[in-house]
């Protein structure tokens, strides 16, 4: 019956595309999480009145973040083609999508990290300093744990955006559900393929959001 309703869907291809999308999203989320936190911490710590107050570094990072956050993703992929071919050796396949995905998402997430860190009560940082904590200790034991729920909900939002970024990257040859929907569904006019690919993307997004919400509420003790 399924075959009658969806005559053009080849389930093996569909499954392979799903795995590719999950792979791209997973790798990009992991890298974005780390890179975003590093950038966000730097933005926060070098801001006025904070531990590493440094106007120059702050301005440079803020400019970098703002520029890469503002470039539309589809254009960013094209701009990064030379960089990607130099780094990965090809412009095709899931791995080739990763540099653009990470560079597109990390600055976005860095801003969220910065906002999360700014929400932390300054008094708590002062208390840690008064106890003789080093900046390193403050980062690991105060800043990150105290902002963790916001960091997790932020990465959830970013992960959802990353899923749609992978679809865009797919359109220009990175593979995954976006690629399949574009080549098989749109160009060959197989609407059932587009439909199934869309449903699978939705399922991925829902699962990501669910995991994010559950983890956030579990670690939030406020």
Residue ranges in contact with other proteins by CB under 8 A: 121, 123-124, 126-134, 137, 141-142, 145-146, 148, 219, 221-222
Which residue, 150 or 155, is less far from other proteins as judged by CB? 150
Closest CA to 68 of 109, 13, 98, 11: 109
Which residue, 50 or 85, is less far from other proteins as judged by CB? 50
Minimal distance, residue 135 CB to other proteins, in Å: 10
Which residue, 120 or 157, is less far from other proteins as judged by CB? 120
Roughly how many angstroms between the first and final C-alpha of the chain, as a whole number?
51
Minimal distance, residue 111 CB to other proteins, in Å: 22
Minimal distance, residue 112 CB to other proteins, in Å: 18
Minimal distance, residue 141 CB to other proteins, in Å: 7
Which residue, 88 or 120, is less far from other proteins as judged by CB? 120
């Amino acid at each position: 019956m399924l075959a009658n309703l969806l005559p053009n869907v080849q389930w093996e291809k569909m499954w392979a595309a799903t795995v590719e999308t999950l792979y791209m999203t997973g790798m990009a989320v992991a890298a974005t999480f780390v890179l975003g936190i590093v950038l966000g911490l730097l933005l926060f710590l070098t801001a006025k009145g904070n531990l590493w107050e440094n106007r120059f570094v702050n301005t440079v990072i803020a400019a970098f973040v703002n520029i890469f956050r503002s470039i539309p993703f589809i254009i960013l992929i094209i701009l990064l083609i030379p960089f990607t071919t130099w780094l990965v050796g090809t412009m095709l396949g899931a791995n080739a999508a990763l540099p653009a995905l990470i560079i597109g998402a990390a600055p976005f997430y860095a801003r969220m990290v910065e906002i999360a860190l700014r929400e932390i009560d300054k008094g708590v940082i002062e208390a840690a300093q008064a106890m003789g904590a080093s900046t390193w200790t403050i980062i690991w034991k105060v800043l990150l744990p105290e902002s963790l729920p916001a960091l997790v909900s932020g990465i959830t939002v970013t992960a959802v955006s990353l899923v749609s970024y992978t679809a865009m990257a797919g359109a220009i040859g990175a593979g995954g559900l976006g690629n399949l929907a574009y080549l098989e569904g749109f160009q060959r006019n197989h609407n059932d393929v587009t439909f199934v690919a869309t449903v699978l993307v939705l399922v991925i997004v829902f699962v990501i959001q669910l995991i994010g919400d559950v983890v956030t509420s579990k670690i939030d003790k406020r």
